[in-house]
Each structure stands twice: as structure tokens, then as C-alpha cells.
Chain A
């Protein structure tokens, strides 16, 4: 029953049809929110008392690292769906999401590094968050490499899903263990997130940027999954008709 239900609503055909309709709304909403959040954050939000103006990187950095992890969790859910119910679309979505995840993780690392120069006086610190993000980035690349190595794409889908699921178990373990290790070797690094103490004048643009980047990335995901679905199903009739 459940299987039938899932398969009905997860055919690549209906996915492409629905997302094609949603795409214009998502992209317009996402980009305008992002623009609003960033202009607010860059020009109107007050200076940070401690870090000065360099903190304005937060409006890109924090959304980026949030989605670096969220995309991986999304992929893990897809991987489970693919392994348990053999949903083809789920595997396509993993394959489409992984490059975006890698890109945004890289952006998170890079912005963090650049932020680190004026704030910490160093562009790299072996702290729990940074190290686990770096490992996350490598895992994204590993997943892509694994999928690319097999000519039988159905096999590649399944192997990739196994790796994604094992990887998602690994993320909290790495975080925990790096934390453990780094607190032993060095004093805890500067905590990046302001938590609840953050002033509303900084919080609102941050939240808006997060929502904006989220919808922008979803739009990007729609595009990238569409091209991948077309690629994989190019012999199917519905694709040939739709072109």
C-alpha cells in the first residue's frame, strides 16, 4: 500500500511537471529574499561591537553552513527511500543535490576562512565545526566520485545510497569526536553563532537570508534535477514528448 502510494507520487514525470510550475515562484521569492536579507545585513544592520564590520560575512556564512548540512540530511532521506522502496526519483535527487551541497559547503568553508583572517588572525583553525564541515565537503565529493565510477547507473544509485546513509551516521560521530579531541588539545574556539543573544537588527536579516538562500537553492535543485532526470530517462516516451 505504502509502496504503491509512494511510487505514484514519485514518478519523475510528475516531479518534473510539478516543479516546473513551482520554479518561477521559488526563484523569484528566493532571490528577492536573498537580496533583501543581504542588503539589509550589509548596509543597514548595525556594526558588531566586538568584530566590527567583518561580522557581516555572517549573512552568507551561516545560511551556507546550515544548508551544507541540511542538503546532506535531505540526501540521506532520499537514500533511505531509494534503498527501502526502490524509488528511482530519490536517487536522481541525491545525484542532483550532491553537487549543490558540495558547492554550498565549499562556500561555507571559504567564507569562514576569510572571516577568520580579520577575526581570529588565522584562516584555519582545527576546531570541531570547521573540521567536520571540511569532512562533509570531502564526503560530498566522495559520493559524486562513487556515482561517476559505475557505468550501470542503477548499481551506482544503490551504492551511492548506501554510502550516503553510512555517511549521515558519521556526521554526528565526527562532530562529537572532534569536539572531544579539540577540547583536549586546545581551548574551545570562538563560538561562531551568536545564539539567542543576537540583536533583532542582526537576527532578522540573517533569518531572511537563510530563507532566501533556501529557496534559491531549491530552485537550483529543481533545475539540476530536471537536467539529470532528462539525462537518465532520455529514452522514455514522456521525455521525448515533452521536448
Chain B
């Protein structure tokens, strides 16, 4: 377990493109959106959250792209299989490493952006929490898409997993209402945590089955 955590963290941290890239893309998309809607005419604080949500969606599928491809292509998956006999741990740990190294920084950037657009400081923490939790969900789902498509390019993975992420987006939309109107915050956090836990437990199982099919 610890061995995998170390190895996956090390591998990801050595690939500058893979973890810094998504963060930069998040920033760039967040800059691009206000530019496209002409700030002078609209109040950004009214719809800053939809901007963040869509950027989050885009960035998280960029971030998870090729999550398992490298290990598949260079034969590491087979070696891993000989040690662990399945890919449950690998998938679980990979997803969490990605969430911690990329997902949470992205959430921080998103929360900062909302902060910069006139959100009260106590909401900053709430936004950050929502974004981090939804990144956990999104990374799980996109990891599934990646495991299915493996070396067939990001397009296929997105096509098969994007429909699955739409409920998460809706949930996030609902979450922002709870912030704006100051109600139901706890129930939504609880729902997100519950779904997140369940998904983190079940998704690696499915991913493992998909990866096993690929090396078969």
C-alpha cells in the first residue's frame, strides 16, 4: 500500500506536464471565460460559479487524461498484476494521488477565483470544500473512462465518461444555491461525501476489471 502511494506520487511529481499543466489550464480557462462575456456588461459575481464548474469539468478531464495509459504501454501494469493480482489498490491510490496533487490545487484555484469575484471570506472555505469533493467524484469517473479507453486517446474516454459526470455538475449547481441562499449546505456536503466515499470504494473495482480486460 505504502509502496504504491510512494511510487504513484513520485511518478506524478516527476511529470511536470501532467500535474502543472492542468493547473495552468484551469487558470487560463478561468481567464478566458470572463473575457468572452465582456465584464463591463455583466456582473461576474452572479454567474462566477458556472464558470468555475465548467472549468473544473474541463480541467479534470485534461488532468486525468492518460492516467493508466503510460503504465499500460510500458508494461508496468503487468508487473503490478503479478504483485497484487488485481488493480484495486493501484486504481484507488492513483485516483487519490491525482486528487491530492492536482484536484485539490485546482479546487483552490477555483475557490480563489470566486473569492476574487466578490464572495465573502467565510464562503471561500465552503466553495473550496465543494470543489474538492466534486473533484474527487469527477476524477473517479474520468479514471473509469480512461481505464476503458486506455491507449485509444482521450476522446474515447471522455465520450464514455462525460455523461456520467453530468449529475455531479448538477449537484455542484445545487451546491452554489446553498451558498448563495445560505441553506442546505450541510446536507449537500453530506451527500457529496457519501457519494464520494461510495464511489471511491466501488469505482476502483470496476476500473480494475477494465484494466484486467486490457492486459488479457
Interface residues of A (CB under 8 A from B): 135, 138-139, 141-143, 145-146, 149-150, 155, 158-159, 162-163, 166-167, 170, 173-174, 177-178, 180-181, 184
A158-B213, A174-B166, A181-B173 known; A166 vs B144 contact (CB < 8 Å): yes
Q: What residues of A have a CB within 8 angstroms of the CB of B167 in the complex?
A: 170, 173-174, 177
A163→B163 contact, CB < 8 A: no
Q: What residues of B have a CB within 8 angstroms of the CB of A146 in the complex?
A: 148-149, 156, 159-160
B148→A162 contact, CB < 8 A: yes
Cα A143 to Cα B163 in complex, Å, equals: 11
B206→A166 contact, CB < 8 A: yes
B174→A181 contact, CB < 8 A: yes
B170→A138 contact, CB < 8 A: no
Q: What residues of A have a CB within 8 angstroms of the CB of B162 in the complex?
A: 138
Considering residues A167, A174, A180, A181, which has the most beta carbons from chain B within 10 angstroms of its beta carbon? A181
B163→A135 contact, CB < 8 A: yes
| Cβ-closest 10 pairs across A and B | A177-B167, A177-B170, A181-B170, A142-B159, A149-B152, A142-B160, A158-B213, A135-B163, A173-B167, A139-B163
What's the least CB distance linking B61 to chain A, in Å? 14
Mask: chain B, 165-190; 1 = CB below 8 Å from A; 0 = not:
01100110110010000000000000
Q: What residues of A have a CB within 8 angstroms of the CB of B152 in the complex?
A: 149-150
A155→B170 contact, CB < 8 A: no
A170→B163 contact, CB < 8 A: yes
For the side of the interface on B, what is the size category? 20 to 34
Interface residues of B (CB under 8 A from A): 144, 148-149, 152, 156, 159-160, 162-164, 166-167, 170-171, 173-174, 177, 206, 209-210, 213-214, 216
Q: What residues of A have a CB within 8 angstroms of the CB of B209 in the complex?
A: 162
Q: What residues of A have a CB within 8 angstroms of the CB of B164 in the complex?
A: 166-167, 170
Chain B residue nearest to A155 (CB atoms) is: B213
A149→B149 contact, CB < 8 A: yes
What's the least CB distance linking A202 to chain B, in Å? 34
Q: What residues of B have a CB within 8 angstroms of the CB of A135 in the complex?
A: 163, 166
Considering residues B159, B171, B216, which has the most beta carbons from chain A within 10 angstroms of its beta carbon? B159
What's the least CB distance linking B4 to chain A, in Å? 23
Cα A166 to Cα B206 in complex, Å, equals: 9
What's the least CB distance linking A39 to chain B, in Å? 38
Q: What residues of B have a CB within 8 angstroms of the CB of A184 in the complex?
A: 174, 177
Q: What residues of B have a CB within 8 angstroms of the CB of A180 in the complex?
A: 170, 174
Cα A139 to Cα B166 in complex, Å, equals: 12
B166→A162 contact, CB < 8 A: no
Q: What residues of A have a CB within 8 angstroms of the CB of B148 in the complex?
A: 146, 159, 162-163
B210→A174 contact, CB < 8 A: no
A145→B159 contact, CB < 8 A: yes
Chain B residue nearest to A144 (CB atoms) is: B159
Q: What residues of B have a CB within 8 angstroms of the CB of A174 in the complex?
A: 163, 166-167
Q: What residues of B have a CB within 8 angstroms of the CB of A139 in the complex?
A: 163
Cα A146 to Cα B144 in complex, Å, equals: 13
What's the least CB distance linking A133 to chain B, in Å? 12
B163→A167 contact, CB < 8 A: yes
Chain B residue nearest to A169 (CB atoms) is: B164
Cβ-defined partner of A163 (8 Å) among B160, B166, B171:
B160
